[in-house]
C-alpha cells in the first residue's frame, strides 16, 4: 500500500493509479530555482528485530541507492540496526544489552562509517549505543569522510526507561549544508526540546522515528513543530516518509505499508515494503 499526498492541486490517472500533480506559479518556480538545496534521502525500511547483520545488509543496499541518486544527506529510521529491540521486553536483558554498539569503536559502527566514507555522504544512522553499563537510543551523524560529526541520544523514552537511559543534551552538528539538529521519535512531541535545538543553531531538523505514523496520529505533531520554529522537518519511519515545511504544511508525504517490523519469513514479500525517498531541502546560501 502506497499513499501519497503532495501539497498541491491537480489529479490525473497514470498507469492505473490516481496521481496528484503539483503546480507552481512562475514566481514560485523562480524561487525554487534560485534557492540552494541539499538532497536528503530517507531510508524507509522495515525492522528485523535483533538481527543486526540482516538489518545493516538491507539498509546498505538502500543507502547505496540513495547515494547513486544524488543524496548528500541520508537518514535511516530509529534504531534501524537492532530493529528497535527495546520494543520486545521478553528479550533476555543480557541479550538485549549485547546488541549495543560502542560509538565510536563498534564493529557495525565502523562498517557504517566506512560506507559514509566510500559513498561521500553524510549518514544519520539509528542504533542502540553501549556506553559502559548504559544503553542509549542514539542516532549518529557520520561525515563524508567517515568521521563522527556527533551523536544524539533520545530524551523521551517512555516504555524504554526499563532498559535505556535518556539523553540530556541538545547538540547541533556543523556541516557544509548548515547546522543539523536531530530528534528521535517521541522527542518530536516536546515543543521545548525542538525549540532548544533551534536555539542552539539548527538549520536542518531530522527525525529518525519508529512509533506513531500517519496523518491521524503523527503528522499534525510534526507540522506543529515546523510551524513553531519556522523549519523544515524530515521524518523517516519504517512506514512513512514525511517532510513538513516552515509554515506547518505538508511538503512531502508517503505512507509505505502499515508494518514497522517483519519476520525473516516475510522478507521480500509485499508486507516488506521499502523505498528510498528524496527531498530537495532548502538551505542557507
Instruction: Give me the pLDDT at residue 97, please.
Output: 98
CA 49 to CA 84: how far, in whole Å? Answer: 7
DSSP assignment of 232-245 equals -EEEEETTEEEEE-
Cell (9 digits) for 106: 563498534
Q: With bands split at pLDDT 50, 70 and 90, how would you rate the model's confidence at 5? A: very low
pLDDT score recorded for residue 34: 74
pLDDT tens digit sequence for 228-268? 999 999 999 999 999 999 999 999 999 999 999 999 999 99
Share of the chain above pLDDT 70, in %: 88
Residue 106 φ/ψ, nearest 5 degrees: -75, 155
Decide: 9 and 23 in contact? Cβ < 8 Å.
Answer: yes
Q: What domain count does the chain have? A: 1
Say if residue 25's pLDDT is above 80. Answer: no
pLDDT of residue 7: 41
- pLDDT given at position 12: 36
User: Sign of dihedral through CA atoms 65, 69, 74, 78?
Assistant: negative
Q: Which domain holds residue 192?
A: 2-282
Backbone CA torsion sign across 58, 63, 64, 66: positive
Three-class SS state of 208: strand
pTM: 0.88
Residues identified as active-site? 78, 154, 185
Q: What's the CATH number where 26 sits?
A: 3.60.110.10
Amino acid at each position: 500500500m502506497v499513499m501519497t499526498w503532495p501539497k498541491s492541486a491537480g489529479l490525473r490517472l497514470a498507469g492505473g493509479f490516481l496521481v496528484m500533480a503539483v503546480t507552481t506559479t512562475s514566481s514560485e518556480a523562480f524561487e525554487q530555482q534560485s534557492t540552494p538545496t541539499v538532497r536528503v534521502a530517507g531510508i524507509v525500511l522495515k525492522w528485523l528485530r535483533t538481527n543486526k547483520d540482516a538489518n545493516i545488509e538491507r539498509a546498505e543496499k538502500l543507502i547505496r541507492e540513495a547515494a547513486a541518486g544524488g543524496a548528500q544527506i541520508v537518514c535511516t529510521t530509529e534504531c534501524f540496526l537492532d530493529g528497535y529491540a527495546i520494543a520486545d521486553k521478553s528479550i533476555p536483558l543480557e541479550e538485549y544489552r549485547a546488541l549495543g554498539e560502542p560509538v565510536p569503536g563498534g564493529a557495525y559502527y565502523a562498517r557504517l562509517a566506512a560506507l559514509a566514507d566510500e559513498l561521500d555522504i553524510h549518514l544519520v544512522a539509528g542504533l542502540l549505543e553501549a556506553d559502559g553499563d548504559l544503553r542509549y537510543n542514539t542516532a549518529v551523524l557520520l561525515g563524508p569522510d567517515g568521521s563522527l560529526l556527533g551523536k544524539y541520544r533520545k530524551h523521551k523514552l517512555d516504555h524504554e526507561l526499563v532498559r535505556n537511559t535518556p539523553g540530556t543534551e541538545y547538540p547541533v552538528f556543523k556541516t557544509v549544508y548548515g547546522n543539523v539538529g536531530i530528534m528521535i521519535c517521541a522527542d518530536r512531541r516536546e515543543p521545548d526540546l525542538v525549540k532548544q535545538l533551534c536555539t542552539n543553531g539548527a538549520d536542518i531538523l531530522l527525525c529518525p522515528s519508529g512509533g506513531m505514523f500517519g496523518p491521524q496520529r503523527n503528522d499534525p505533531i510534526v507540522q506543529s513543530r515546523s510551524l513553531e520554529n519556522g523549519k523544515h522537518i524530515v521524518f523517516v519511519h519504517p512506514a512513512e516518509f514525511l517532510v513538513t515545511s516552515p509554515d506547518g504544511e505538508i511538503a512531502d508525504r508517503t505512507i509505505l505499508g502499515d508494518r514497522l517490523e517483519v519476520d525473516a519469513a516475510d522478507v521480500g514479500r509485499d508486507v516488506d515494503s521499502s523505498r528510498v525517498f528524496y527531498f530537495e531541502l532548502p538551505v542557507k546560501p
